[in-house]
Structure 1
Amino acid sequence: MKIATFNINGIKARLPRLLEWLEETRPSVACLQEIKTQDEGFPAADFEKIGYHAIWHGQKSFNGVAILADGTMPIEVQRGLPGERDDDHARYLEAEVFGTRVACIYLPNGNPQPGPKFDYKLRWMERLRARMKAIAAQEVPAIVLGDFNVIPHDCDVWSPTAMADDALMQPESRDSYARLLGDGWTDALATCNPGGGVWTYWDYQAGAWQRDHGFRIDHGLLSPELADRLEACGVDKEHRGREKASDHAPVWFSFRV
């Protein structure tokens, strides 16, 4: 079983690239972020033509998450995180699929910092932690994956100095991420690549892709019940270099059934 995450950066603009990736790599489950479309605009029929069924949580022009499954319909468990009544951002979607709890997230960026956007990011991470604790208490195979907008360590960025003032690398962001791992979740990509140096995002600006100036912000966190079944993981880096690509590359995790 292969579960993947892909910040597609606009599902309508990238649909040909997304369908291409799905057909070439055929993940069992694909979690998407930044679909940037309202619910009624989600192209479910295009995925059904190639055998994928989907659930989604959309929002006009911003955010938005979706879960696709090969040959079966994901069973929705929860959309959105409790704890902040006025938060209407489409950033969280959780489902049961292939006997696994899958939570797809698009964590707030937090820039500029300091400021209200950074404060929102940290509050959102605490709300996520509460939900992950609830999932862990059920002792089910589970994965929380997506764009976390956190660079966990200096080895996860091409230049720590260049990103030092960014919200993605602030001590508070890193501490919040570390607390998730401290609760018993496993950072799968870091486990497979303990030396770091693996990027999942390259900015469109300043020739970042051509110079390989990237960093790792797309993660998959595993419950103990699923971490024991991890076989391999990786980044489909080549897809970042294709025409009209997203600024993220897909990340995948393979498990024993």
Structure 2
Amino acid sequence: MKIATFNVNSVRARLPALLQWLQETRPDVACLQELKCMDDAFPAEAIREAGYGALWHGQKAWNGVAILARGTDPIEVQRGLPGDEADTQSRYLEAAVDGVLVACLYLPNGNPAPGPKFDYKLAWLERLARRAAMLRTRPEPVVIAGDFNIIPTERDVYKPDAWVDDALFRPEVREAFRALVDSGWTDALRALHPDETIYTFWDYLRQRWQRNSGLRIDHLLLNPAAAKRLKDAGVDKDVRGRPQPSDHAPAWAVLGSER
């Protein structure tokens, strides 16, 4: 099973690019972020015509997540990250697809830091840690995939010194990500490519794409049941270089059959 994550940066504006990528790479599951549309504006029919069932959790102008499944309908398990009933931002969705539990997230950016937005990010990370602790020990494979808005290490950013005060790279969020991995989650890309320079995001400004000045902020975390089935992982970097692209490229992992 190939599971991918792709921050589309507006699903309606990038629909042709999304459909092209789905046709070319045919992931079994695709987790999308930054839909930037209300639920009734989600292009479900076009996605279904491409061969995918879908669940989505939209929000006007900002945020929004979706889970697509090739040839089937994902079964909703959880809508919204538990732990704060007052949180109305559309950032989290879980679904079951062919025996695998997939959680799609769009973690808060947190800038400017320090400040209320950064406090919200840290609180969101605490809630995610609690949910992840519940999911980690599930007997079936579980994949948490999405735009984490976290640069885990200096290897994952083109110029670490320029990001030390940014909410994506502050010690608090890096420690939270490291704690997830240390608790038993496997970072799929790093597990198979421990020493490579891998980016998933390139800003539109200052020719960041042309200069390969990127960040790795899109991740797929695997619980032990999924990690033992990990066969391959990568980034569809060429998608970022196409006309009118998202500023992210899709990242993906392949799980083999159960041993």
Specify the TM-score bucket, using the shorter chain as the normaliser. Answer: over 0.9
Partner of 2:194: 194
Partner of 2:153: 153
What pairs with 1:8-47 in structure 2 (closer than 5 Å)? Answer: 8-47=8-47
Query: How far 1:183 sits from its partner (Å)?
Result: 1.4
- The aligned amino acid for 1:183 is S
Partner of 2:96: 96
Q: Indicate if the aligned counterparts of 2:137 and 2:223 stay in contact, CA closer than 8 A.
A: no
Partner of 1:218: 218
What pairs with 1:72-151 in structure 2 (closer than 5 Å)? Answer: 72-151=72-151
Q: SS of the counterpart of 1:214?
A: coil
Q: Deviations over 1:162-195 (max 9, x none)?
A: 2121111000000111111121000001111111
Structure 1 portions without partners, runs of 5+: none
Q: Indicate if the aligned counterparts of 2:143 and 2:222 stay in contact, CA closer than 8 A.
A: yes
Q: SS of the counterpart of 2:13?
A: helix
- The aligned amino acid for 1:191 is A
Q: Deviations over 1:130-152 (max 9, x none)?
A: 11111123332100010000000
Partner of 1:206: 206
Partner of 1:164: 164
- Pair 1:3-2:14 in alignment: no
Identity among equivalent pairs (%) = 57
Partner of 1:243: 243
Q: Deviations over 1:20-59 (max 9, x none)?
A: 0000000000000000110000000001111100000000
Q: Indicate if the aligned counterparts of 1:36 and 1:63 stay in contact, CA closer than 8 A.
A: yes
CA–CA distance in structure 1, aligned partners of residues 32 and 181 of structure 2 = 22
Query: How far 1:66 sits from its partner (Å)?
Result: 0.1
Q: Which deviates more from structure 2 when the two are superposed, residues 160-169 or residues 63-72?
A: 160-169
Q: SS of the counterpart of 1:201?
A: coil
CA–CA distance in structure 1, aligned partners of residues 81 and 164 of structure 2 = 29
CA–CA distance in structure 1, aligned partners of residues 238 and 137 of structure 2 = 38
Q: Indicate if the aligned counterparts of 1:156 and 1:196 stay in contact, CA closer than 8 A.
A: no
Q: Indicate if the aligned counterparts of 2:154 and 2:160 stay in contact, CA closer than 8 A.
A: yes
Relative to the length of structure 1, the TM-score reads 0.99
CA–CA distance in structure 2, aligned partners of residues 196 and 104 of structure 1 = 25
What is the number of equivalent residue pairs in this alignment? 257
Q: Which deviates more from structure 2 when the two are superposed, residues 235-244 or residues 174-183?
A: 174-183
